[in-house]
A = this chain, B = another copy of it.
């Protein structure tokens, strides 16, 4: 059995969970909060970051969300999530890097720092100027997504891919933290609604991070 070390609002862990869900791979969750710096976790994830996966029967541990996703794409190719030509797969990986890098730096990380870490652990109010910066950045990303969806149903073509899962994982964390204004982004909303209605997404939408509550529309498929 695979175990996934993660916490509910880790966007990188959510990306892995969506992939495992789409592929129908069984796993159990283990709560891991990187900021607690639990000593034993470094044996599984040398960076101390989530997600990491471990299969104790087979003595395999894998850290880094992309290493995990590429691994399961290789060993469970039956339901492929890297699809199309080599050029389309390159575009898929570029979009994943966009969300893991730029979206996380500009939107996800500031929202997690201000709304999750400060609230739950320091009992401090968020810095309003940082939140405004994250909201401004969100607009650029929503427009980029809208432009990609002008051409086809999913981000890189007419089949769902890892790019959709990565984008939805990061968006879902920002949405939980009240960082997404959906008004005026109908195309992105329709695409995200289609993702939300997939069985792989349901467990994520039902989870809560401690005392932190998402906005009312967060779990709703028709939002």
Q: Which residues of A contact B (CB under 8 A)?
A: 46-47, 60, 62-64, 66-68, 70-71, 74-75, 86-87, 89-91, 93-94, 97-98, 101-102, 144
Contacts and interface: CB of A to CB of B under 8 A. Distances in A.
Contact of A94 (B63, B86, B89, B102): B63
- Which applies to chain A's interface (DSSP): helix, strand, loop or mixed? helix
Contacts of A74: 86, 89
Given A64-B97, A97-B64, A70 B47 contact: no
A75 B60 CA distance: 29
Contacts of A101: 47
B67 A97 contact: yes
Contacts of A97: 64, 66-67
A60 B91 CA distance: 10
Contact of A90 (B62, B93, B94, B144): B62
B67 A87 contact: no
B60 A102 contact: no
A19 to B, nearest CB: 14
B94 A67 contact: yes
B62 A87 contact: yes
A114 to B, nearest CB: 21
Given A62-B94, A94-B62, A71 B86 contact: yes
Contacts of A94: 46, 62-64, 67
- Which one of A46, A67, A71, A90 has the greatest number of beta carbons of chain B within 10 Å? A90
B90 A67 contact: yes
Contact of A98 (B47, B68, B71, B90): B47
27 contacts: A46-B94, A46-B144, A47-B98, A47-B102, A60-B87, A62-B87, A62-B90, A62-B94, A63-B94, A64-B93, A64-B97, A66-B66, A66-B93, A67-B93, A67-B94, A67-B97, A70-B89, A70-B90, A70-B93, A71-B86, A71-B87, A71-B89, A71-B90, A71-B93, A74-B86, A74-B89, A75-B86
